[in-house]
Amino acid sequence: MGGGVCGAIFYAAGQRELQAACDRLAPIRVGEAAITPGFALPARYVIHAVGPVYHSLIRRRCRRLLAGAYESALKLAAENACESVAFPLLSSGIYGYPKEEALLVARQSIEAFLKGHEMQVYLAVFDPDSFQVSKALLGRVESYIDGHYVKAHTDMRRRSIQQEAADLEQTASFAFPMMASAAPALSELLEELDEPFSQSLLRLIDQKGKTDVEVYKRANLDRKLFSKIRTGKGYTPKKPTILALAVALELSLPETDALLKKAGYALSHSSRFDVIVEYFIVNGNYDIFQINEVLFAYDQPLLGA
């Protein structure tokens, strides 16, 4: 039993039972993992992964050992038919691993594993202040937000005032209502409906030369949700899910706008979330996990699952 997250897990599972199970498997080396029952936890197993104590003089070795800890734990999860597994940010507490580097190693290790496996993998981080996203990247995103989000709000307020003035002027100018032209019949409008969202998605997957598996994994979606979206049957995914798919398909901004429109959505410069995602699309950065790190830093919803 250790401190921090480890100590919390032992306390919740039952210290005596979990320690006895660990004693039967000890010792294991740094970069390895072992599995025990979860005991009183609402989880079937606890996987004990040993990350390295960080030292800058052996940075490459630390990186290799930290990646090995994730890989060993994920392998055990797969061998024991786990449908999901949740990690803290290994070695980033009292072991002193710089949080930005620890996050990068975690993300790359999990991504590599998921290319060949079906599993929900969660990375549990306490809050946006628990780690530092690249300051250079955050600076570029902040600059983009300043140039779009803030300006949009100013422009919207100005247009709103101008529209109110125009409405008042129009009300004063016309004493009698204008005759409206005949509206098209409902049946005519229904005949002109656009291609359904699911069909548009399948067409785009083919056009981009990607597979279904590649798309839903790059979109950070699970197979069941993607299957539900793919089959259509009246289901329309939420906006963050559609944007995740747009990122996975590496769509341009006009293509993203068109896909959103199929589901009745649009990107808005009055939404910080939208502006951040737009920044990455405009700059051709389709790494959904890096996008999510920035969204998390701004306390915004994440893309995908």
pLDDT mean over 173-177: 48
Q: Which of the residue ranges 29-43, 99-113, 214-228 has the most confident prediction, judged by mean pLDDT? A: 29-43
Between the alpha carbon of residue 71 and those of residues 5, 48, 61, 64, 90, the distances in Å are 19, 12, 15, 10, 12
**87 in Cβ contact with 73 (< 8 Å):** yes
The H or E element that residue 274 is part of is helix 272-282
Claim to verify: residue 14 and residue 122 sit in the same structural domain: yes
For the record, the structure tokens of 269 come out as 């410069």
Claim to verify: residue 248 and residue 112 sit in the same structural domain: no
Q: How confident is the model at residue 132 (pLDDT cuts 50, 70, 90)?
A: low
> Does residue 181 lie in a domain region?
no
- In this structure, how many other beta carbons lie within 10 angstroms of the beta carbon of residue 151? 12
Q: So what's the pLDDT on residue 184?
A: 54
pLDDT mean over 82-110: 92
**217 in Cβ contact with 115 (< 8 Å):** yes
Segment among 50-59, 70-79, 170-179 with least mean pLDDT: 170-179
Q: Please state, rounded to an integer, the average pLDDT across all residues of the chain.
A: 86
Read off the DSSP letter of residue 303: S
Q: How confident is the model at residue 4 (pLDDT cuts 50, 70, 90)?
A: confident
Residue 20 reports pLDDT greater than 70: yes
Q: How confident is the model at residue 113 (pLDDT cuts 50, 70, 90)?
A: very high
Query: 271-300 as b/e, with b when 16 or more CB fall inside 10 Å?
Result: bbbbbbbbbbbeeeebebbbbbbbbbbbeb
**DSSP reduced 3-state for 47:** strand
- The domain that holds 72 is classified in CATH as 3.40.220.10
Q: How confident is the model at residue 182 (pLDDT cuts 50, 70, 90)?
A: low
Q: So what's the pLDDT on residue 136?
A: 78
Q: So what's the pLDDT on residue 51?
A: 96
Q: So what's the pLDDT on residue 176?
A: 45
Segment among 112-126, 140-154, 238-252, 284-298 with least mean pLDDT: 140-154
d(CA 46, CA 49): 10
> Does residue 159 lie in a domain region?
no
Claim to verify: residue 62 and residue 140 sit in the same structural domain: no
Claim to verify: residue 93 and residue 24 sit in the same structural domain: yes
Residues above pLDDT 90, as percent of the chain: 61
d(CA 299, CA 271): 13
For the record, the structure tokens of 1 come out as 């039993």
Is the C-alpha dihedral spanning 204, 208, 213, 214 positive or negative? negative
> What's this model's pTM, rounded to 2 decimal places?
0.76
**What's the domain count of the chain?**
2
Q: So what's the pLDDT on residue 204?
A: 94
Q: So what's the pLDDT on residue 161?
A: 47
pLDDT mean over 179-189: 49
d(CA 211, CA 235): 21
Angular region, 299: left φ>0, alpha ψ -120 to 50, beta rest = left
φ, ψ for residue 123, nearest 5 deg: -115, 110
Residue 61 reports pLDDT greater than 60: yes
Claim to verify: residue 66 and residue 121 sit in the same structural domain: yes
The H or E element that residue 120 is part of is strand 120-123
Which stretches within 132-267 are classed as H helix?
A: 135-145, 151-173, 186-191, 197-207, 212-218, 223-231, 239-248, 253-262
Which has more confidence, 89 or 136? 89
pLDDT mean over 293-298: 90
Which has more confidence, 16 or 149? 16
Which has more confidence, 124 or 176? 124
Q: So what's the pLDDT on residue 100?
A: 84
Between the alpha carbon of residue 104 and those of residues 108, 111, 131, the distances in Å are 6, 11, 11
> Does residue 100 lie in a domain region?
yes
- Domain holding 263, by residue range, is 134-149+195-305
Residue 131 reports pLDDT greater than 70: no
Claim to verify: residue 56 and residue 72 sit in the same structural domain: yes
Residue 263 reports pLDDT greater than 60: yes
d(CA 31, CA 80): 19
Claim to verify: residue 212 and residue 123 sit in the same structural domain: no
Claim to verify: residue 119 and residue 44 sit in the same structural domain: yes
**50 in Cβ contact with 84 (< 8 Å):** no
Q: So what's the pLDDT on residue 163?
A: 59
Angular region, 234: left φ>0, alpha ψ -120 to 50, beta rest = left
Q: Which residue has tokens 């975690």?
A: 106
Q: So what's the pLDDT on residue 188?
A: 47
Q: So what's the pLDDT on residue 167?
A: 60
Q: So what's the pLDDT on residue 23?
A: 96
Claim to verify: residue 258 and residue 143 sit in the same structural domain: yes
Residues above pLDDT 70, as percent of the chain: 83
